[in-house]
Amino acid sequence: MNMPLQGTAADVIKIAMINVANKIKEKGLKSKLILQVHDELIVDTHPDEIEIVKSILQGEMQSATSLSVPLDAEAKVGERWFDAK
């Protein structure tokens, strides 16, 4: 029973990852998508682009697919991954 859920979650985060990377590139931002850890995307964000990147992350992660329940995403900022938790 677990495999279909984990497989679907992996597909959803991959869709979001592609969409986020494309949107960052499309907008010509200096920020870079650098890492995926389970259901998190880590972006090395230029300080001037923090709010734009947060908006892109939340929007693309929440709209990666259509489900019968809403997808909820948070975007946090920190000097290190640990600080953003």
Going by pLDDT thresholds of 50, 70 and 90, the confidence category of residue 2 is confident
CATH number where 7 lies? 3.30.70.370
Structure pTM?
Answer: 0.88
Residue indicated by tokens 């949107």: 23
Going by pLDDT thresholds of 50, 70 and 90, the confidence category of residue 84 is confident
Q: What is the mean pLDDT of residues 29-50?
A: 95
pLDDT at 30: 97
pLDDT at 43 over 90: yes
pLDDT at 1: 77
How many structural domains comprise the chain?
A: 1
Q: Dig out the tokens for 9 from the structure.
A: 């979650």
- Domain span at residue 35 reads 2-84
C-beta of residue 61 within 8 angstroms of C-beta of residue 72: no
Q: What is the mean pLDDT of residues 12-37?
A: 96
